[in-house]
Amino acid sequence: MSKKYASISANIGDTKRPTVVGADRHPGWNALRRIASRITTPLLPDDYLRLANPLWSARELRGRVLEVRRETADSATLVIKPGWGFHFDYRPGQYIGIGLLVDGRWRWRSYSLTSAPTGGRTIAITVKAMPEGFLSSHLVDGVVPGTVVRLAAPQGEFVLPEPAPATVLFLTAGSGITPVMSMLRTLARRGGITDVVHLHSAPTPADMLFAEELAALAREHPGYRLLFRATRSQGRLDLSGPAMLDAEVPDWRGRQVWACGPAALLGDAERIWADAGIADHLHIERFTIARTAVASGGGTVTFAASGKSVVTDAATTLLEAGESAGVQMPFGCRMGICQSCVVELVAGQVRDLRSGVDHEPGTRIQTCVSTAAGDCELDV
Ligand SMILES: Cc1cc2nc3c(=O)[nH]c(=O)nc-3n(C[C@H](O)[C@H](O)[C@H](O)COP(=O)(O)OP(=O)(O)OC[C@H]3O[C@@H](n4cnc5c(N)ncnc54)[C@H](O)[C@@H]3O)c2cc1C
Ligand code: FES
Protein backbone atom coordinates (compact mmCIF):
# COMPACT_ATOMS: atom_id res chain seq x y z
CA MET A 1 0.00 0.00 0.00
CA SER A 2 1.29 3.45 -0.91
CA LYS A 3 2.43 5.72 1.94
CA LYS A 4 0.10 8.35 0.53
CA TYR A 5 -2.82 6.21 1.65
CA ALA A 6 -3.75 5.52 5.23
CA SER A 7 -3.70 1.92 6.34
CA ILE A 8 -7.30 1.05 7.07
CA SER A 9 -6.59 -1.83 9.36
CA ALA A 10 -4.43 0.43 11.45
CA ASN A 11 -7.05 3.16 11.60
CA ILE A 12 -10.20 1.27 12.33
CA GLY A 13 -11.25 2.59 15.65
CA ASP A 14 -44.50 8.39 -6.72
CA THR A 15 -40.11 5.05 -11.01
CA LYS A 16 -43.90 5.61 -10.78
CA ARG A 17 -45.07 4.48 -7.43
CA PRO A 18 -46.72 1.33 -8.75
CA THR A 19 -50.50 1.53 -8.71
CA VAL A 20 -50.72 -2.26 -8.78
CA VAL A 21 -47.34 -3.49 -7.73
CA GLY A 22 -46.09 -6.45 -9.72
CA ALA A 23 -49.27 -6.65 -11.80
CA ASP A 24 -47.21 -7.50 -14.85
CA ARG A 25 -45.39 -10.28 -13.01
CA HIS A 26 -48.42 -11.62 -11.13
CA PRO A 27 -51.43 -11.71 -13.51
CA GLY A 28 -53.09 -14.37 -11.32
CA TRP A 29 -52.91 -12.18 -8.23
CA ASN A 30 -54.33 -9.30 -10.19
CA ALA A 31 -57.33 -11.32 -11.31
CA LEU A 32 -57.93 -12.43 -7.70
CA ARG A 33 -57.69 -8.84 -6.61
CA ARG A 34 -60.35 -7.80 -9.11
CA ILE A 35 -62.69 -10.54 -7.89
CA ALA A 36 -61.95 -9.62 -4.26
CA SER A 37 -62.76 -5.99 -4.93
CA ARG A 38 -66.23 -7.01 -6.12
CA ILE A 39 -66.82 -9.13 -3.01
CA THR A 40 -65.43 -6.60 -0.53
CA THR A 41 -66.98 -3.42 -1.94
CA PRO A 42 -67.43 -0.74 -0.53
CA LEU A 43 -64.09 -1.40 1.23
CA LEU A 44 -61.20 -2.16 -1.14
CA PRO A 45 -59.19 -5.36 -0.69
CA ASP A 46 -56.29 -3.14 0.24
CA ASP A 47 -58.17 -1.93 3.29
CA TYR A 48 -58.60 -5.49 4.53
CA LEU A 49 -55.01 -6.38 3.72
CA ARG A 50 -53.80 -3.37 5.68
CA LEU A 51 -55.92 -4.37 8.69
CA ALA A 52 -54.28 -7.81 8.66
CA ASN A 53 -50.73 -6.53 8.18
CA PRO A 54 -49.56 -2.98 7.40
CA LEU A 55 -46.95 -4.40 5.01
CA TRP A 56 -49.60 -6.03 2.80
CA SER A 57 -50.79 -3.82 0.03
CA ALA A 58 -51.89 -4.69 -3.46
CA ARG A 59 -51.39 -1.10 -4.60
CA GLU A 60 -47.94 -0.08 -3.42
CA LEU A 61 -44.66 -1.50 -2.22
CA ARG A 62 -44.07 -1.15 1.49
CA GLY A 63 -41.38 -2.07 3.94
CA ARG A 64 -40.81 -2.08 7.67
CA VAL A 65 -37.61 -0.69 9.15
CA LEU A 66 -36.16 -3.52 11.25
CA GLU A 67 -32.96 -1.87 12.39
CA VAL A 68 -31.24 1.53 12.30
CA ARG A 69 -27.53 0.89 12.71
CA ARG A 70 -25.18 3.81 13.26
CA GLU A 71 -22.21 3.64 10.87
CA THR A 72 -20.39 6.95 11.48
CA ALA A 73 -21.23 10.15 13.36
CA ASP A 74 -23.54 11.31 10.55
CA SER A 75 -24.64 8.15 8.79
CA ALA A 76 -26.71 5.06 9.46
CA THR A 77 -27.72 1.82 7.77
CA LEU A 78 -31.42 1.05 7.67
CA VAL A 79 -32.31 -2.62 7.38
CA ILE A 80 -35.75 -2.92 5.83
CA LYS A 81 -38.06 -5.89 5.43
CA PRO A 82 -40.05 -5.32 2.24
CA GLY A 83 -43.65 -6.45 2.09
CA TRP A 84 -45.54 -8.31 -0.62
CA GLY A 85 -44.53 -7.61 -4.20
CA PHE A 86 -40.86 -6.75 -3.69
CA HIS A 87 -38.49 -8.70 -5.91
CA PHE A 88 -35.17 -9.59 -4.34
CA ASP A 89 -33.51 -10.24 -7.69
CA TYR A 90 -32.13 -6.68 -7.89
CA ARG A 91 -28.67 -6.13 -9.32
CA PRO A 92 -25.79 -4.93 -7.11
CA GLY A 93 -25.42 -1.18 -7.63
CA GLN A 94 -29.14 -0.46 -8.14
CA TYR A 95 -31.09 1.99 -6.00
CA ILE A 96 -34.57 2.07 -4.50
CA GLY A 97 -37.00 4.88 -3.82
CA ILE A 98 -38.02 5.27 -0.20
CA GLY A 99 -41.03 7.26 0.92
CA LEU A 100 -41.42 8.44 4.48
CA LEU A 101 -44.43 10.11 6.03
CA VAL A 102 -43.15 13.33 7.62
CA ASP A 103 -45.51 16.09 8.82
CA GLY A 104 -48.39 14.41 7.02
CA ARG A 105 -46.67 14.26 3.62
CA TRP A 106 -44.93 11.40 1.86
CA ARG A 107 -41.36 12.49 1.07
CA TRP A 108 -39.42 10.43 -1.43
CA ARG A 109 -35.67 10.07 -2.02
CA SER A 110 -33.44 7.56 -3.81
CA TYR A 111 -30.88 5.38 -2.00
CA SER A 112 -28.49 2.78 -3.36
CA LEU A 113 -28.97 -0.67 -1.94
CA THR A 114 -25.96 -1.65 0.15
CA SER A 115 -27.18 -5.19 0.70
CA ALA A 116 -26.25 -8.03 -1.65
CA PRO A 117 -29.03 -9.76 -3.60
CA THR A 118 -28.04 -13.17 -2.38
CA GLY A 119 -31.12 -14.79 -0.97
CA GLY A 120 -31.95 -12.74 2.15
CA ARG A 121 -35.46 -11.36 2.73
CA THR A 122 -34.27 -7.95 3.90
CA ILE A 123 -32.60 -5.05 2.10
CA ALA A 124 -30.33 -2.30 3.41
CA ILE A 125 -29.60 1.30 2.53
CA THR A 126 -26.93 3.50 4.10
CA VAL A 127 -27.74 7.16 4.47
CA LYS A 128 -25.43 10.08 5.18
CA ALA A 129 -27.20 13.00 6.83
CA MET A 130 -26.74 16.10 4.67
CA PRO A 131 -26.31 19.19 6.88
CA GLU A 132 -29.11 21.14 5.20
CA GLY A 133 -30.93 18.14 3.78
CA PHE A 134 -34.47 17.36 4.85
CA LEU A 135 -35.02 13.63 4.64
CA SER A 136 -31.50 12.26 5.12
CA SER A 137 -31.21 13.77 8.63
CA HIS A 138 -34.59 12.32 9.47
CA LEU A 139 -33.60 8.86 8.19
CA VAL A 140 -30.36 8.91 10.18
CA ASP A 141 -31.68 10.41 13.41
CA GLY A 142 -35.47 10.29 13.39
CA VAL A 143 -36.56 6.88 12.15
CA VAL A 144 -37.17 4.11 14.68
CA PRO A 145 -37.40 0.37 14.10
CA GLY A 146 -40.97 -0.58 13.25
CA THR A 147 -41.57 2.43 11.00
CA VAL A 148 -43.46 1.48 7.83
CA VAL A 149 -42.07 3.11 4.69
CA ARG A 150 -43.12 3.11 1.06
CA LEU A 151 -40.73 1.70 -1.48
CA ALA A 152 -40.17 2.09 -5.21
CA ALA A 153 -38.74 -0.96 -6.96
CA PRO A 154 -34.96 -1.27 -7.47
CA GLN A 155 -33.69 0.27 -10.67
CA GLY A 156 -30.62 1.83 -12.27
CA GLU A 157 -27.95 0.93 -14.79
CA PHE A 158 -24.95 1.42 -12.50
CA VAL A 159 -24.52 -2.33 -12.06
CA LEU A 160 -21.86 -4.99 -12.31
CA PRO A 161 -22.30 -7.23 -15.32
CA GLU A 162 -22.68 -10.95 -14.76
CA PRO A 163 -20.02 -12.35 -14.79
CA ALA A 164 -17.99 -9.42 -13.46
CA PRO A 165 -14.92 -8.37 -15.46
CA ALA A 166 -11.64 -9.96 -14.43
CA THR A 167 -10.05 -6.62 -13.46
CA VAL A 168 -12.03 -3.85 -11.80
CA LEU A 169 -11.34 -0.38 -10.40
CA PHE A 170 -13.78 1.14 -7.90
CA LEU A 171 -13.37 4.89 -7.47
CA THR A 172 -15.49 6.18 -4.59
CA ALA A 173 -15.66 9.03 -2.10
CA GLY A 174 -17.81 9.60 0.97
CA SER A 175 -21.30 8.11 0.73
CA GLY A 176 -20.55 7.28 -2.92
CA ILE A 177 -19.27 3.97 -1.62
CA THR A 178 -22.82 2.67 -1.06
CA PRO A 179 -23.60 1.10 -4.48
CA VAL A 180 -20.06 -0.29 -4.64
CA MET A 181 -20.57 -1.90 -1.21
CA SER A 182 -23.41 -3.97 -2.66
CA MET A 183 -21.12 -4.97 -5.54
CA LEU A 184 -18.27 -5.91 -3.19
CA ARG A 185 -20.55 -7.91 -0.88
CA THR A 186 -21.98 -9.73 -3.89
CA LEU A 187 -18.55 -10.49 -5.33
CA ALA A 188 -17.25 -11.66 -1.94
CA ARG A 189 -20.19 -14.02 -1.40
CA ARG A 190 -19.84 -15.47 -4.89
CA GLY A 191 -16.07 -15.87 -4.55
CA GLY A 192 -15.74 -13.41 -7.43
CA ILE A 193 -13.03 -11.04 -6.18
CA THR A 194 -10.28 -11.77 -8.67
CA ASP A 195 -8.52 -8.42 -9.15
CA VAL A 196 -10.25 -5.40 -7.64
CA VAL A 197 -8.51 -2.11 -6.83
CA HIS A 198 -10.59 0.25 -4.70
CA LEU A 199 -9.60 3.93 -4.45
CA HIS A 200 -11.72 5.45 -1.71
CA SER A 201 -11.59 8.72 0.18
CA ALA A 202 -13.39 10.29 3.13
CA PRO A 203 -12.55 13.32 5.29
CA THR A 204 -11.06 11.21 8.12
CA PRO A 205 -10.81 7.49 8.89
CA ALA A 206 -13.64 7.96 11.40
CA ASP A 207 -15.88 9.18 8.55
CA MET A 208 -15.23 6.10 6.47
CA LEU A 209 -18.30 3.96 5.93
CA PHE A 210 -17.90 0.18 6.31
CA ALA A 211 -14.27 0.62 7.43
CA GLU A 212 -14.04 -2.62 9.40
CA GLU A 213 -15.75 -4.68 6.73
CA LEU A 214 -13.51 -3.28 4.00
CA ALA A 215 -10.41 -3.94 6.08
CA ALA A 216 -11.56 -7.53 6.62
CA LEU A 217 -12.18 -7.91 2.87
CA ALA A 218 -8.65 -6.68 2.19
CA ARG A 219 -7.26 -9.18 4.72
CA GLU A 220 -9.26 -12.15 3.48
CA HIS A 221 -9.18 -11.55 -0.28
CA PRO A 222 -5.75 -11.14 -1.85
CA GLY A 223 -7.55 -9.97 -5.00
CA TYR A 224 -8.95 -6.89 -3.21
CA ARG A 225 -6.59 -3.92 -2.80
CA LEU A 226 -7.98 -0.98 -0.83
CA LEU A 227 -6.29 2.42 -1.14
CA PHE A 228 -7.91 4.77 1.35
CA ARG A 229 -7.21 8.47 1.46
CA ALA A 230 -8.16 10.67 4.42
CA THR A 231 -8.71 13.94 2.58
CA ARG A 232 -8.57 16.22 5.62
CA SER A 233 -4.98 15.25 6.39
CA GLN A 234 -3.80 13.96 2.99
CA GLY A 235 -5.67 16.18 0.53
CA ARG A 236 -8.07 15.07 -2.17
CA LEU A 237 -7.34 12.41 -4.76
CA ASP A 238 -5.51 14.26 -7.50
CA LEU A 239 -7.46 13.55 -10.66
CA SER A 240 -6.38 16.71 -12.49
CA GLY A 241 -4.47 14.34 -14.77
CA PRO A 242 -3.57 10.65 -14.98
CA ALA A 243 -0.35 10.91 -12.89
CA MET A 244 -1.87 9.68 -9.62
CA LEU A 245 -3.58 6.78 -11.40
CA ASP A 246 -0.38 5.90 -13.25
CA ALA A 247 1.45 5.75 -9.91
CA GLU A 248 -1.14 3.88 -7.85
CA VAL A 249 -2.95 1.71 -10.41
CA PRO A 250 -0.50 1.43 -13.34
CA ASP A 251 -2.90 -0.80 -15.33
CA TRP A 252 -5.94 1.49 -14.85
CA ARG A 253 -6.44 1.81 -18.60
CA GLY A 254 -7.22 -1.90 -18.83
CA ARG A 255 -9.78 -1.95 -16.01
CA GLN A 256 -13.55 -1.49 -16.03
CA VAL A 257 -14.31 1.32 -13.59
CA TRP A 258 -17.31 2.05 -11.37
CA ALA A 259 -17.16 5.55 -9.87
CA CYS A 260 -19.50 7.27 -7.41
CA GLY A 261 -18.86 10.37 -5.32
CA PRO A 262 -19.02 14.16 -5.43
CA ALA A 263 -19.69 15.87 -8.76
CA ALA A 264 -16.14 17.29 -8.98
CA LEU A 265 -14.53 13.86 -8.64
CA LEU A 266 -16.84 12.37 -11.26
CA GLY A 267 -16.25 15.30 -13.62
CA ASP A 268 -12.47 14.82 -13.34
CA ALA A 269 -12.81 11.09 -13.92
CA GLU A 270 -14.92 11.67 -17.04
CA ARG A 271 -12.23 13.96 -18.44
CA ILE A 272 -9.36 11.55 -17.71
CA TRP A 273 -11.06 8.50 -19.20
CA ALA A 274 -12.26 10.50 -22.22
CA ASP A 275 -8.75 11.90 -22.81
CA ALA A 276 -7.39 8.35 -22.66
CA GLY A 277 -9.92 7.35 -25.35
CA ILE A 278 -11.58 4.80 -23.06
CA ALA A 279 -14.68 6.65 -21.86
CA ASP A 280 -16.63 3.41 -22.32
CA HIS A 281 -14.63 1.81 -19.46
CA LEU A 282 -16.05 4.31 -16.97
CA HIS A 283 -19.45 3.74 -15.30
CA ILE A 284 -20.71 6.61 -13.17
CA GLU A 285 -23.48 7.07 -10.60
CA ARG A 286 -24.45 10.60 -9.54
CA PHE A 287 -26.34 11.34 -6.34
CA THR A 288 -26.92 15.03 -7.09
CA ILE A 289 -27.61 17.27 -10.02
CA ALA A 290 -25.91 20.57 -10.67
CA ARG A 291 -28.58 23.23 -10.33
CA THR A 292 -27.22 26.12 -12.35
CA ALA A 293 -30.43 27.87 -13.35
CA VAL A 294 -31.40 31.09 -11.61
CA ALA A 295 -34.50 30.50 -9.49
CA SER A 296 -37.23 32.81 -10.77
CA GLY A 297 -40.83 32.28 -11.70
CA GLY A 298 -43.16 29.90 -9.95
CA GLY A 299 -46.90 29.96 -10.58
CA THR A 300 -50.01 27.82 -10.57
CA VAL A 301 -49.35 24.30 -11.82
CA THR A 302 -52.40 22.42 -13.11
CA PHE A 303 -52.35 18.65 -13.43
CA ALA A 304 -54.71 17.96 -16.32
CA ALA A 305 -55.47 14.27 -15.77
CA SER A 306 -56.15 14.54 -12.05
CA GLY A 307 -57.80 17.96 -12.22
CA LYS A 308 -55.68 19.21 -9.31
CA SER A 309 -53.64 22.39 -9.12
CA VAL A 310 -51.15 23.95 -6.74
CA VAL A 311 -49.37 27.29 -6.38
CA THR A 312 -45.63 26.73 -6.29
CA ASP A 313 -42.43 28.76 -5.97
CA ALA A 314 -39.44 28.89 -8.33
CA ALA A 315 -37.33 26.46 -6.27
CA THR A 316 -39.85 23.63 -5.92
CA THR A 317 -39.67 21.00 -8.63
CA LEU A 318 -42.84 20.11 -10.50
CA LEU A 319 -42.48 16.58 -9.11
CA GLU A 320 -42.54 17.88 -5.53
CA ALA A 321 -45.33 20.31 -6.37
CA GLY A 322 -47.48 17.48 -7.75
CA GLU A 323 -46.80 15.27 -4.75
CA SER A 324 -47.71 18.08 -2.36
CA ALA A 325 -51.04 18.38 -4.19
CA GLY A 326 -51.66 14.64 -3.85
CA VAL A 327 -51.07 13.82 -7.52
CA GLN A 328 -49.55 10.38 -8.19
CA MET A 329 -46.49 11.61 -10.02
CA PRO A 330 -44.30 9.07 -11.85
CA PHE A 331 -40.69 9.13 -10.70
CA GLY A 332 -37.48 7.14 -10.38
CA CYS A 333 -34.12 8.67 -9.45
CA ARG A 334 -35.48 12.18 -8.75
CA MET A 335 -32.17 13.52 -10.09
CA GLY A 336 -32.67 13.91 -13.85
CA ILE A 337 -31.04 10.59 -14.70
CA CYS A 338 -33.63 7.91 -15.39
CA GLN A 339 -36.38 9.68 -17.41
CA SER A 340 -39.14 7.96 -15.38
CA CYS A 341 -40.74 11.31 -14.52
CA VAL A 342 -41.20 12.57 -18.08
CA VAL A 343 -44.66 14.04 -18.82
CA GLU A 344 -46.02 16.36 -21.50
CA LEU A 345 -46.18 20.09 -20.91
CA VAL A 346 -49.68 21.05 -22.11
CA ALA A 347 -49.54 24.82 -21.53
CA GLY A 348 -47.24 27.49 -20.11
CA GLN A 349 -43.49 27.33 -19.66
CA VAL A 350 -41.26 25.33 -17.33
CA ARG A 351 -37.57 25.79 -16.60
CA ASP A 352 -34.91 23.07 -16.53
CA LEU A 353 -32.96 23.61 -13.29
CA ARG A 354 -29.77 22.21 -14.79
CA SER A 355 -29.54 24.29 -17.95
CA GLY A 356 -31.90 27.20 -17.31
CA VAL A 357 -33.63 26.41 -20.63
CA ASP A 358 -37.37 27.15 -20.71
CA HIS A 359 -39.51 24.49 -22.37
CA GLU A 360 -42.52 25.27 -24.56
CA PRO A 361 -45.96 23.57 -24.61
CA GLY A 362 -46.01 20.29 -26.51
CA THR A 363 -42.58 19.19 -25.25
CA ARG A 364 -41.95 16.35 -22.81
CA ILE A 365 -40.28 17.49 -19.62
CA GLN A 366 -38.57 15.87 -16.64
CA THR A 367 -40.60 16.99 -13.64
CA CYS A 368 -37.86 16.14 -11.14
CA VAL A 369 -35.49 18.79 -12.54
CA SER A 370 -38.02 21.37 -13.76
CA THR A 371 -39.80 24.24 -12.07
CA ALA A 372 -42.73 26.41 -13.12
CA ALA A 373 -41.72 29.54 -15.05
CA GLY A 374 -45.21 31.01 -14.67
CA ASP A 375 -48.59 29.25 -14.73
CA CYS A 376 -48.42 25.90 -16.50
CA GLU A 377 -50.35 22.70 -17.13
CA LEU A 378 -48.99 19.15 -17.17
CA ASP A 379 -50.53 16.01 -18.65
CA VAL A 380 -50.59 13.93 -15.48
C1 LIG B 1 -29.38 7.10 -7.65
C2 LIG B 1 -29.13 7.75 -6.31
C3 LIG B 1 -28.64 6.99 -5.25
C4 LIG B 1 -28.38 7.60 -4.03
N5 LIG B 1 -27.86 6.85 -3.02
C6 LIG B 1 -27.56 7.42 -1.83
C7 LIG B 1 -26.99 6.65 -0.77
O8 LIG B 1 -26.75 5.45 -0.91
N9 LIG B 1 -26.71 7.29 0.41
C10 LIG B 1 -26.95 8.63 0.58
O11 LIG B 1 -26.69 9.14 1.68
N12 LIG B 1 -27.50 9.38 -0.42
C13 LIG B 1 -27.83 8.80 -1.60
N14 LIG B 1 -28.41 9.55 -2.59
C15 LIG B 1 -28.79 10.96 -2.31
C16 LIG B 1 -30.18 10.99 -1.67
O17 LIG B 1 -31.17 10.62 -2.63
C18 LIG B 1 -30.59 12.38 -1.19
O19 LIG B 1 -30.45 13.29 -2.25
C20 LIG B 1 -29.74 12.84 -0.02
O21 LIG B 1 -29.87 11.94 1.07
C22 LIG B 1 -30.18 14.24 0.45
O23 LIG B 1 -31.53 14.18 0.78
P24 LIG B 1 -32.16 15.27 1.78
O25 LIG B 1 -33.62 15.10 1.80
O26 LIG B 1 -31.47 15.23 3.10
O27 LIG B 1 -31.72 16.61 1.11
P28 LIG B 1 -32.63 17.62 0.30
O29 LIG B 1 -33.53 18.32 1.24
O30 LIG B 1 -33.24 16.93 -0.85
O31 LIG B 1 -31.48 18.58 -0.19
C32 LIG B 1 -30.30 18.04 -0.83
C33 LIG B 1 -29.21 19.09 -0.91
O34 LIG B 1 -29.58 19.98 -1.90
C35 LIG B 1 -29.70 21.25 -1.34
N36 LIG B 1 -30.92 21.79 -1.95
C37 LIG B 1 -32.18 21.39 -1.68
N38 LIG B 1 -33.05 22.09 -2.43
C39 LIG B 1 -32.30 22.95 -3.17
C40 LIG B 1 -32.58 23.95 -4.13
N41 LIG B 1 -33.84 24.22 -4.48
N42 LIG B 1 -31.55 24.61 -4.70
C43 LIG B 1 -30.29 24.34 -4.37
N44 LIG B 1 -29.95 23.43 -3.46
C45 LIG B 1 -30.94 22.75 -2.87
C46 LIG B 1 -29.79 21.09 0.17
O47 LIG B 1 -29.22 22.17 0.85
C48 LIG B 1 -29.03 19.83 0.39
O49 LIG B 1 -27.67 20.10 0.59
C50 LIG B 1 -28.67 8.97 -3.84
C51 LIG B 1 -29.20 9.71 -4.89
C52 LIG B 1 -29.43 9.12 -6.11
C53 LIG B 1 -29.99 9.93 -7.24
S1 FES C 1 -37.12 10.82 -11.77
FE2 FES C 1 -35.36 10.12 -12.87
S3 FES C 1 -35.19 11.65 -14.41
FE4 FES C 1 -36.75 12.40 -13.17
CATH of the domain at 203: 3.40.50.80
Q: Whose CA is nearest to atom 20 of ligand 1?
A: 136
What is the span of the domain harbouring residue 224? Answer: 168-285
**Closest approach atom of ligand 2 to CA 337:** 3
Residue 208 maps to a domain: yes
Both 247 and 181 in a single domain? Answer: yes
Does the Cβ of 184 fall within 6 Å of ligand 1? no
Both 179 and 258 in a single domain? Answer: yes
Q: Whose CA is nearest to atom 17 of ligand 1?
A: 110
Note the pLDDT of residue 39. Answer: 52
Residue 110 maps to a domain: yes
Does the Cβ of 334 fall within 6 Å of ligand 2? yes
Note the pLDDT of residue 25. Answer: 52
Counting ligands in written order, the one closest to the CA of 317 is: 1
Note the pLDDT of residue 53. Answer: 64
Residue 326 maps to a domain: yes
Does the Cβ of 338 fall within 6 Å of ligand 2? yes
**Closest approach atom of ligand 1 to CA 158:** 1
Residue 347 maps to a domain: yes
The ranges of the chain with pLDDT < 50 are: 1-4, 6-24
**What are the tens digits of pLDDT across the range 192-214?**
999 999 999 999 999 999 999 99
Does the Cβ of 291 fall within 6 Å of ligand 1? yes
Q: What pTM value is reported for the model?
A: 0.84
Does the Cβ of 287 fall within 6 Å of ligand 1? yes
Residue 232 maps to a domain: yes
**Closest approach atom of ligand 1 to CA 110:** 17
Note the pLDDT of residue 42. Answer: 53
Does the Cβ of 175 fall within 6 Å of ligand 1? yes
CA dist list (Å): 223 to 169, 255, 259, 377: 12, 14, 19, 55
Residue 162 maps to a domain: no
**Closest approach atom of ligand 2 to CA 330:** 1
Both 130 and 188 in a single domain? Answer: no
Does the Cβ of 130 fall within 6 Å of ligand 1? yes
Both 304 and 359 in a single domain? Answer: yes
350-372 burial, b for 16+ CB within 10 Å, e for fewer?
A: bbbbbeeeebeeeeebbbbbbbb
Alpha-carbon distance of 361 to 350, in angstroms, equals 9
The CATH number covering residue 85 comes to: 2.40.30.10
CB atoms within 10 A of CB 225: 16
Both 116 and 172 in a single domain? Answer: no
Q: Given 127, 155, 183, which residue is the final one in a domain?
A: 155
**Closest approach atom of ligand 2 to CA 339:** 3
Does the Cβ of 331 fall within 6 Å of ligand 1? no
Alpha-carbon distance of 136 to 294, in angstroms, equals 25
Does the Cβ of 155 fall within 6 Å of ligand 2? no
Both 151 and 173 in a single domain? Answer: no
Q: What are the CB-based long-range contacts (under 8 Å, 24+) for 320-329?
A: 321/372, 322/367, 322/378, 322/380, 323/14, 323/105, 323/106, 323/108, 324/105, 325/301, 327/303, 327/380, 328/14, 328/16, 328/17, 328/19, 329/14, 329/16, 329/367, 329/380
